[in-house]
Structure 1
Amino acid sequence: MSRIRAAYYDPDGSRYGIPTFWWRGAPAGYATRRQLRAAGLRPGGQPVAAQILWRGIGGTRAAYLYRLDLARPKRTATPAQRRAIAAALLARRTCPTCRLVRPYFIPRSLGECLDCSPS
């Protein structure tokens, strides 16, 4: 084990407070938020179970790990929520001046579409 890896290896949590592993050194059964999301899961209110530390730009970097056995399935939006989101996105594309639906979001700095904008 290299010195860099040994500096970040603390599986019992005595040095860092929680179990700590080096880059790509976490055991099976742990996942980051991004890995949970890719698997269709979410942390579900559980606390951080472990961390990964490595040297990066700006100093020591950290990634927090959650237990897979305590993770819950991702929540899905209800049909009413999906309709509300679709209506909100449509409103962001509708120009208040000419009332045309544009293929882009209306810039908030202008308040109207690019054709209606004076500049």
Structure 2
Amino acid sequence: MSAARFWDPDGTTYGIPTYPLHMAPDGLATRRQLRARGLRPGGQEVAAQLMWRHARGIAVAYLYRLDLAKPVRPMTLGRWRAHEAMMRPRRTCTACRRDVGYVVRTSTGLCEPCDPTLATA
């Protein structure tokens, strides 16, 4: 299959403008590319998509317009508190009930000292 299969700039085949990988026009960016520029989609609709062959089939990445993107919201003190509260249970060992300072394994819920599978001889 060639890249021409995914060339559909008017959206007749796929419903929205579609481009092969690395062939999107200027002014469009993926979420990751927006974030790297300090931007977010800001509620706008998907403007286009990239499609390419992948080992597991066909992969898709959605594109957003740069001119409609908004700046990333800054982290406020309240947001930091909420994030800390959300992460606290993930850092707490279910056996010793200590906040170990890192995210414990979800398979066991135990910190390294309490996990018998991680014990060294």
Deviates more, 1:6-15 or 1:22-31: 6-15
Deviates more, 1:9-18 or 1:96-105: 96-105
Task: State the partner residue of 1:77.
Answer: 75
User: 1: distance between equivalents of 2:115 and 2:3?
Assistant: 57
Over 3 Å counting, the alpha-carbon distance change for 1:102 and 1:29 in structure 2 is same
Task: State the partner residue of 2:25.
Answer: 27
Q: Structure 1 residue 62 and structure 2 residue 23: aligned?
A: no
Note the residue ranges of structure 2 that are not aligned, 5 or more in a row: none
Q: What do you get for the CA RMSD once the two structures are aligned?
A: 2.8
> Per-residue deviation at 1:42?
0.7
Note the residue ranges of structure 1 that are not aligned, 5 or more in a row: none
Q: Percentage identity across aligned positions? A: 53
Over 3 Å counting, the alpha-carbon distance change for 1:82 and 1:5 in structure 2 is same
Deviates more, 1:87-96 or 1:72-81: 87-96
> Per-residue deviation at 1:85?
2.7
User: 2: distance between equivalents of 1:57 and 1:118?
Assistant: 37
Compare CA radii of gyration and give the structure with the larger one.
Answer: 1
Q: Structure 1 residue 15 and structure 2 residue 16: aligned?
A: no
TM-score normalized by the length of structure 2: 0.74
Task: State the partner residue of 1:36.
Answer: 34
User: 2: distance between equivalents of 1:6 and 1:97?
Assistant: 57
TM-score normalized by the length of structure 1: 0.75
